[in-house]
Structure 1
């Protein structure tokens, strides 16, 4: 009986449960099995994926900022491990609430909460990677990161390719060559690069024209606007040259100074 009792005490499913037994005098007794320490809720259901009910229908939920790198660097590995799962659970809850709000055509309150959680998780991964790199460099003299090299893809652009293990050698693996054709000797990459650079140039040109038109409208509506402050706000716009144009002045005609 003692063996069964000790086995049940180690099982978390039998927490707060009364187990009847019989002693030598055939008198019934009861053992109350409880777990002294627990870190999660006893009753867990699908509502863990949803926000607190008091936040339902609210237009704004007040939350704090994200975890910074300096704050995470002073945490222990155990604390970082616990914090990672807390952030992971919070991210799943926010994604579920966002999807539910979109399905019901409602406004998702404080959508910046999801960005703060993602930034915190990214910072936590950075701290863990720093510690792993420091440990490997101290023990083995290497960074411990996956090795890689700069290669040229099929479109003629260089990127960092991380090496990985393969059962078949590289020169015998035909499937690998079909998915990783790093060959830019044909004319197709040259044509693609030409069209891609043209697209980037058009995007920069349109953005520059939008900034110039914005400055033009500001000068037209506010003739007495500070030119130095405007130049600091738009450093790539030639404001002295833009002032001389008629479109900038609009219906405002400056008076001619008399000699």
Structure 2
């Protein structure tokens, strides 16, 4: 497959000022991409953009991924400003460290709403623009989609949901020439991991992620893997070979199901008949 050259293309990135978002924005800028940087802290996103270059190269917008109108407005504004959106990266995310029986219900709902529903809102808002360029949509999931740890119920559930959402969406948009992928890094150093290690429960559970199965990998490894995956428009991006087997086993039968279960125009025909509510009442 030819390399998907990022030079001159526009990338929309949510969660742009986070640990991963900041490093990824810089790497994409170095590849020659134009950047629409979306973050809850709009002022910080604008300063981030200014550090990368003039507004013709990078521009920031304030976005709350818990609000579809907010994401839609920013995506439309970015498409108008840059003239196109080629790649969308849903990177906004939060974590938790509490058992199911004690977690604050508001915390559970917030994590699911940002990590999973936020990806849906980002994809939904950007898809009309990505369809025009036959581009690529990527969501930041985690190895937690496949390896489920205690005290992380809403996080692992949301990341598994992101993986499933990307698989479903990939089938829905393939006839448009749009591709969809998910990225599944293991632990790497970010402000979120600093919070985990400063939390007594997190420090006990992961022992600082200094060695063994849960040892952290370099941020640069994650970023390089994502950029390479975007340039291949990959369906599944796993930054380390050691984790690739665990990540790929659940998806071994998926290509077979895709080909046999949904042949020809089955999916676009079904989409044309679907209602906005998702079903038609027979009562």
TM-score, with length taken from structure 2: 0.20
TM-score, with length taken from structure 1: 0.21
Question: Who wins on radius of gyration, i.e. which is larger?
Answer: 1
More RCO (CA 8 Å, sep 6+): 2
